[in-house]
């Protein structure tokens, strides 16, 4: 299915965005790596939304505010 490729692409863009926006990216990188691995291996209709919500709620505002 194309959903695997789409999800991987979305997360690639997301990681690039966070790397550019966050000076503390290295601190949370492991969490993102694990989350991405789980998401790519368990693709479902709502996986991307669920993971994005998880990231935004656990990243101390990086997702919404582009800063820690």
Whether the predicted pLDDT of 67 surpasses 60: no
Q: Are 15 and 29 in contact (CB under 8 A)?
A: no
| Maximum separation of any 2 CA atoms in the chain, in Å | 36
Residue numbers of the domain that contains 48: 2-65
Q: What is the mean pLDDT of residues 49-54?
A: 60
Structural domains of the chain, count: 1
- pTM (two decimals): 0.27
Mean confidence (pLDDT) of the chain:
53
Q: What is the mean pLDDT of residues 6-15?
A: 69
pLDDT band at 47 (very low <50, low <70, confident <90, very high): low
pLDDT recorded at residue 63: 42
């Amino acid at each position: 299915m194309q959903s695997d490729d789409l999800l991987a692409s979305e997360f690639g863009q997301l990681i690039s965005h966070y790397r550019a926006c966050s000076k503390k990216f290295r601190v949370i990188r492991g969490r993102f790596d694990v989350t991405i691995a789980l998401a790519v291996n368990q693709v479902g209709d709502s996986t991307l939304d669920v993971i994005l919500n998880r990231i935004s709620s656990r990243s101390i505002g990086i997702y919404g505010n582009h800063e820690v």
